[in-house]
Every structure is written in C-alpha cells, then in structure tokens.
Chain A
Amino acid sequence: MTNIVQFENVGLRYGAGEETLTDVSFQLGAGSFHFLTGASGAGKTSLLKLLYLAQRPSRGVIRLFGEDTVTLPRARLPGFRRRIGVVFQDFRLVPHLSAWDNIALPLRVAGVVEADLEQPVREMLAWVGLAERAHARPATLSGGEQQRVAIARAVIARPELLVADEPTGNVDPDMAERLLHLFDSLNRLGTTIVIATHDLHLLSRVPHAQLMRLDRGRLHDPTGALRYPPKAAE
C-alpha cells in the first residue's frame, strides 16, 4: 500500500505561544479510513488544516501524494487541493449561492462544462437527502442541512483524499449513519478518508477504520500502526 500522506516530526505554532501540535509523525496508506479523536482544543482541526493545505507547519515534513508540500510553490497548491475534498467544521458554504451551486463549485473550479454538471449534482443532492432544497440559500437551511451540503460539495469531485472535520456534529443518528455509509462507499472506490469526530458511536460503524488520537497536540499511537517510518522498518 502506497502512502498518500506522511507527517514527519511536524510541529505547528500559532503566533508566539506554545506549540499547538508537537512532533506529529504518521502515515496514511492509499485507500485507508481513519478517525481522528481527541478532546476539544487538542488540535484536530489544526492537524486537518495542515492536511488540506490551509496552513503550513512551523517545522517538520509533510508529504502529500508523494511530494513535499512544505516547500511546494504557491502556484502548485491548487492542483493538490483539487485532489482533496474538505468538509469544514464550520461548513464554509458560499452564502450567495444555492445548495445546488455550492455543490457544483468544485466541478466548476475544475472546469467541468455546465452540461456535465446536472447529473452528478442532482445525484449528490439526492444522496444527502436534499433534492427538495436544491435552490435554497445556506442561510435558509438548518445546521444539519448545511452540513450535508458541505459534505456533498466535498465528495462530488471524487477526491483522492477526503478530510472531514466533525461531519456528523449537527445531524440526527439516522442521518449520521447515512453519511457514514456515503463516506464508506467513497472509501471503497479508493478515496483515503480522515474524519475528525467526538462521536465514539461512529467508530464502531466502520470496522476497518483506524483510530488516531490527539492529546494536547501530541499524537497517541499505542499500536504503532501509524508510525512513520513504520516500526517494522526500524
């Protein structure tokens, strides 16, 4: 299994304070499924931001798809970001666009022509149970509905890596299950998945998922399965 993500001794410090993330090292194999847990403020969102290239680390090496992203020139970032789907903890829907247009955005950014948008967007809307709300603006959607739009937008372009920050925080258990099933289907199609969550019930729903736990900025890896370089190679 090739590695899609490699962190080596990554540290992240916002401003002048203490390090938010310290000595984080791990690797994610292509097609793997990971849950990232940890107390509030442990650094989950910060770690995901490094993963989806919204933030550069203060130190350490991060490799994505086999390339060092820390020294990557700005002009090459969009190409990498198009291979990554992101569900933001605060959704970040474009407020002036309908659910339909928000979901279509990644395809439009990638240059898909209008005629080829119709079908995937409609399918995606149906998948997250929002076919009826296609033309609603985010402000008129409930928190859970916004979250589902955010998920649909993250997965529609079939990313190689899906990063989701608390993607089931605002939906009822049935919908959570449904969304997890969506992630699982995507995973079976080859997408590597990292989901940050507090919801321990979710963990049992995906038997083949691996667990990563952050504790005050440090990654706990009792089994050593995540270590990079792998323990066996040492």
Chain B
Amino acid sequence: MSDRSQTRVLDEAGGFRAMTAVMGIMLFLTVLATALGLGTLGAARTLDRQLAGRLTVQVVDGDPAARDRAAARVTELLRRHPDVLRVDLVDRAELQRLIEPWLGASASSGALPVPALIDVDLRREDAAPRVADVVRRAASNARVDRHEEWMSPVSRFMDLLTALAAALVALMAAATLAVVVLAVRSGLEAHRGTIEVMHMLGSTDVQVARLFQRRIALDALLGGGVGGLAALAIVWLLGRQLGALGSELLGGATLGRGEWTALAAVPLLFILLATLAARRAVLADLKRTL
C-alpha cells in the first residue's frame, strides 16, 4: 500500500504515545550506559598499555655513595638493554622535593635513607619480567616495581564497570523489546476492527504488519531520536570536561571517532530492533485469525 494511507489507518489509540515516551527514556539511558562502557573500556585499555610497559627500579642502601654507584650501574645496564626504550634516573633534588611534605626537612639532610629511583619505559610489554631479572642480578639492593601489579585493582575495577555497562545495555534492550511487544498487543486489540476490515479487503498479513511496523518505527524514531540526541549531548559535554582535566588515566576514557559512531548507532539499532519486534508480534498474532 502507498505511504499516505499507511500512517493513518491506525490512529493514536492503543498505547503508541506512551511507547514513544518510553522509547525516549530507554534510549537516553542506553546511550549513556553505552558511553560509560566505551569510556571505561578505553580507559582500561590505555591504562593497560601505559602500565604494562613501565617499571620503576628502587635502589636502597644505607650508604648514599654505594646507593648512587649501584643506581648508576643499573641505569647504564638498562640503557644498553634491547627491550628498554627510555631510562630516567630521577633527579635527587626532585625526589626530595616530592617526599619532603611527608618526611619533613630531615629528608634532605641525608639522615634518612631515601632510595634512588629509576623510571623505565619498555619497548615491549612482555619484556618486564626479563628486564626485572637483569636488574636484580646486577644489584642485590635493587627492587623492581611493575606498575601493572599495583595498578591492577584499578584495572579490574574498570573491567567491572565495562561489564556492568554492557549488562545495562542488554537489560535496556530487553526492556525496550518488551515495551514494543506490549504496545503492539494493545495496538492490535485497539485496532481489531480495522484489521478485520483490512483483511476482508484482501490485505495480506504482511501488509497489516507493515502498518504497525511503520507506526512503531515512527514513534521509536521520534522517542529514540530525542532521547538519543539528549544523551549524546551529555556525553559530549562530559567528554569536554574530561579532556579539560588533563588526567592521563581519564584521558583514555575520551571517546574516539569509532566510539562515537558506535554510540550513534545505538538508537538506530534500537529502532530497527523495535520495528522487527513489532513485525514478529503482529504476524504471530494474525496467524490466529482467519
């Protein structure tokens, strides 16, 4: 059938209006949840990448001279190691400035055994254990900190957030489908007479289903469009604030182009899903009529 009549054969009755509002809210929440999931996923990945390739070597010795000699030896060794990208012996003055707030002025007097710190960036993530081994053999008073170990609770927390977001999206999709099916059922009930007439005029089930599909698609488009766009705007604003914070960890949560595309695809996917659900529900119902 042609377009003009299709949209109007079914009127507003039967819960279609309510469905528009519900679709709007659902898509608002779903887009936010998806953004949260993509954000934490991105942050976790960035974190993993940054931490996996990083070590800190501490050289602890009561004798400052021995400590500095050991630190110099380790630094030299690391510089020549093929898996090491960059070695940075943290400046003593800088170190003292960093710990002074905790340890007081005595830290700079030399009375306390402040360790020498060496920051190491690795060329390959999986080289960490090998490099750590080399360092420990070269200096018995050296301790190697692998960042990925002490940051792993953070990493795990991010993974948890990502999984939670994914579960939210799945639940929201299920709830949306349930709403669509309910709307279609009440729509079928409200338009029983019209559907019967359409059948008597020779409409096929697919033609009748198309009336509902279009109706649901239009309502979902309206609700989903408004809800989805509102959520996208909020995500964009949050992203800008996040960027302004300049945090290395949170920077990973900023959405890239691919992630924005995925986010924008969520409302479209839901509208498609709603339309297909409507079609299935109508066809299943009509099978029971003559």
B207 within 8 A of A: yes
- Taking CB as reference atom, which chain A residue is nearest B9? A94
Q: A74-B287, A92-B193, A111-B1 are in contact. Are A101 and B8 (CB under 8 A)?
A: yes
For chain A residues 84-107, which have a beta carbon within 8 Å of chain B?
Answer: 86, 88, 92-97, 101, 104-106
A109 within 8 A of B: yes
Binary contact track A38-69/B, C-beta < 8 Å → 1, others 0: 00000000000000111110000000000000
Residues of A within 8 A of B200 (CB): 52, 54, 81, 86, 88, 92
For chain A, which range describes its interface: under 10, 10 to 19, 20 to 34, or 35 or more residues?
20 to 34
Q: Which of B2, B4, B198, B207 has the most CB of A within 10 A?
A: B2
Question: A109 touching B201 by the CB < 8 A rule?
Answer: yes
* A114 to B1 CA separation, bound complex (whole angstroms): 9
B79 within 8 A of A: no
Residues of A within 8 A of B207 (CB): 109
The contact of B290 among A55, A94, A96, A114, by CB within 8 Å, is A55
Question: B202 touching A79 by the CB < 8 A rule?
Answer: yes
A1 within 8 A of B: no
The contact of A78 among B8, B197, B202, by CB within 8 Å, is B202
Question: B8 touching A110 by the CB < 8 A rule?
Answer: no
* A85 to B193 CA separation, bound complex (whole angstroms): 17
Residues of B within 8 A of A189 (CB): none
Question: A96 touching B202 by the CB < 8 A rule?
Answer: no
Residues of A within 8 A of B9 (CB): 94, 96-97
* A86 to B201 CA separation, bound complex (whole angstroms): 8
- Taking CB as reference atom, which chain A residue is nearest B198? A109
Question: B202 touching A101 by the CB < 8 A rule?
Answer: no
Report which A residues bind B (CB closer than 8 A). 52-56, 74-75, 77-82, 86, 88, 92-97, 101, 104-106, 108-111, 113-114, 153
